[in-house]
């Protein structure tokens, strides 16, 4: 089959690779009909390259048709149309039964000290072949799927794999009070969708970014937007917009900056020149994260408010202003999106109508062969690129 593979820092290519096969009774094979490029894929494209191996198959936002099943895949059968959550989970362990499949105790990547494995997402998360391919092996398939009906386009459902539940969780974890105000920092795919969900729930939404096309996408939907390049003190601007108090909640949808702030980009480049066994500890402990968004959120949120972190963070050495966090009595919530926890709430809204504008959410629909160019375009934010859909 054809699949998009990682070949080196900022280098991906479509290659012929072996077709996936059933390896465990709980496996299934799906023929992929639509898959996406995620903003976090860009972390693998460059900053997190020391954790990648040449030939790794990328991608964790696929959907398709089941073409083969193992003997222990529950009610899943050949011909089912399914969306595949980005994390692999069993559905029956202590964590899964408590709505935390990202922490699945059956599948945790214990040798890396990480939670549930993620399709196509480096050795940190199990080095499982990903979904930017023609076919995909799905471990723990009895739980790691969301069945969807025929009759509507893939674009209606494919975001159940990651974007919709991750953004939904970001808003839920923000604990916005009824009629309250939430600021969303970063209007890439997750921040964009978080704005739409927060609007759907009836909150006042303020979106912040520095890319004109992303700001315009929210402006036309009625979101109040702030261009980061036009304000030196964003916290003060937002306080002025919220009676001097600050917003009830802030969603940080930036996280580990895939494009790098100047200082951290230098650190990433230096680390990238090191042997992997030296570079990995640098990335894990030297604080390569861009914490500007988090510092802004801490400054901006009202006292007693909540900051919800949905962006992916990677380093462990960045200092936090704990005195301010404590004094303001800020609540911090965070974590990978627990897809199967939220999918039952979201799916009915997709069946009733296009409540979140998912049918036209993508900015580019391309073939799998065009994926290498799409990665470059997405990282460089050219041609108004916000979300890329790939059709194998």
For residues 89 and 114, membership in a common domain is answered with yes
Residues 53 and 97 in one domain: yes
Statement to judge: residues 137 and 171 lie in one domain: no
Q: 294 falls in which pLDDT band (50, 70, 90)?
A: confident
CA dihedral (114, 116, 121, 127) positive or negative? positive
Q: Output the six-digit token pair for 348.
A: 């009915």
User: What's the total number of domains in the chain?
Assistant: 2
Q: Which residue spans within the chain are E strands per DSSP?
A: 2-8, 11-16, 28-37, 62-69, 81-83, 135-138, 146-147, 181-185, 204-209, 224-227, 249-252, 306-309, 331-334, 364-367, 388-391
Average confidence score pLDDT of the chain: 90
304 — pLDDT class (breaks 50, 70, 90): very high
CATH code where residue 351 lies:
3.90.180.10
Question: Of 159-173, 174-188, 318-332, 367-381, where does mean pLDDT reach its minimum?
Answer: 318-332
Strand, coil or helix: 170 = helix
Same-domain status, 250 and 122: no
User: Is the model's pLDDT at 19 over the cut of 50?
Assistant: yes
Q: What pLDDT score was predicted for residue 123?
A: 92
Residues 9 and 141 in one domain: yes
Domain boundary residue among 298, 318, 334? 334
pLDDT at residue 295, rounded to an integer: 87
Q: Are residues 40 and 132 in the same domain?
A: yes
122 and 237 belong to one structural domain: no
Q: What is the pLDDT of residue 21?
A: 98
Give the rounded percent of residues in the chain with a pLDDT score beyond 90: 79
Interatomic CA distance for residues 61 and 154, integer angstroms: 12
**Residues 202 and 309 both lie in one domain:** yes
Same domain flag for 150 and 173: no
Helix (H, G, I), strand (E, B) or coil at 323: helix
Last residue of a domain, one of 334, 356, 383: 334
Domain boundary among 286, 319, 334: 334
For residues 211 and 314, state if they share a domain: yes
pLDDT at 283 over 60: no
Q: Is the pLDDT of residue 124 over 80?
A: yes
Question: Would you say residue 247 has pLDDT above 60?
Answer: yes
What is the spatial distance between Cα 331 and Cα 175, in angstroms, rounded to a whole number? 9
Residue with tokens 């949905």: 310
- Whether residue 346 is found in the same domain as residue 229: no
pLDDT tens track for 307-345:
999 876 655 555 678 888 888 999 999 999 999 999 999
What does the DSSP 8-state code read for residue 206?
E
CA distance 251 to 171: 7
Provide the CATH number for the domain around residue 198.
3.40.50.720
| Per-residue pLDDT tens over the stretch 256-278 | 554 444 444 444 444 444 455 44
- Which pLDDT score, from 0 to 100, does residue 287 have? 47
Across the range 210-233, mean pLDDT stands at: 95
Regarding whether 259 and 223 lie in a shared domain, the answer is yes
Instruction: State pLDDT tens for residues 226-245.
Output: 999 999 899 999 999 999 99
Q: Find the domain containing 280 and state its range.
A: 164-334
Q: Which residue has the tokens 């820092």?
A: 9
Question: What's the pLDDT tens digit per position in 51-73?
Answer: 899 999 999 999 999 999 999 99
pLDDT of residue 315: 57
């Amino acid at each position: 089959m054809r699949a998009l593979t990682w070949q080196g820092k900022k280098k991906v290519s479509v290659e012929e690779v072996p077709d996936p096969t059933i390896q465990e009774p709980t496996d299934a094979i799906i023929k992929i009909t639509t898959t996406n490029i995620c903003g976090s894929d860009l972390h693998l494209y460059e900053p997190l390259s020391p954790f990648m191996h040449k030939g790794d198959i990328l991608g964790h936002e696929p959907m398709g048709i089941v073409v083969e099943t193992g003997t222990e895949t529950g009610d899943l059968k050949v011909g089912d149309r399914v969306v595949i959550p980005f994390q692999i989970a069993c559905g029956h362990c202590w964590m899964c039964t408590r709505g935390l499949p990202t922490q699945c105790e059956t599948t945790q990547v214990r040798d890396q000290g990480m939670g549930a494995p993620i399709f196509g997402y480096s050795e940190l998360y199990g080095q499982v072949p990903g979904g930017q391919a023609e076919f995909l092996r799905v471990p723990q398939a009895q739980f790691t799927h969301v069945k969807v009906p025929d009759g509507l386009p893939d674009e209606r459902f494919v975001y159940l794999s990651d974007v919709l539940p991750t953004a939904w969780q970001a808003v839920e974890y923000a604990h916005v009070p009824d009629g309250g105000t939430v600021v969303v920092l970063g209007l890439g795919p997750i921040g964009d969708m978080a704005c739409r969900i927060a609007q759907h729930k009836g909150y006042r939404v303020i979106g912040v970014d520095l890319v004109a096309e992303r700001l315009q996408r929210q402006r036309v939907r009625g979101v109040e937007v702030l261009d980061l390049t036009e304000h030196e003190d964003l916290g003060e601007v937002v306080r002025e917009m919220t009676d001097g108090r600050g917003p009830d909640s802030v969603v940080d949808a930036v996280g580990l900056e895939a494009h790098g702030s100047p200082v951290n980009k230098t650190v990433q480049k230096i680390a990238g020149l090191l042997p992997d066994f030296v570079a990995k500890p640098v990335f894990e402990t030297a604080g390569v994260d861009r914490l500007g968004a988090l510092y802004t959120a801490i400054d901006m949120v009202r006292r007693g408010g909540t900051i919800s972190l949905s962006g992916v963070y990677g380093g462990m050495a960045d200092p936090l202003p704990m005195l301010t966090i404590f004094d303001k009595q800020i609540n911090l919530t965070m974590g990978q999106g627990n897809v199967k926890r939220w999918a039952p709430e979201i799916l009915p809204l997709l069946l009733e109508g296009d409540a979140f504008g998912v049918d036209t959410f993508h900015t580019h629909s391309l073939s799998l062969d065009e994926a290498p160019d799409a990665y470059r375009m997405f990282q460089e934010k050219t041609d108004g690129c916000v979300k890329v859909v790939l059709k194998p």
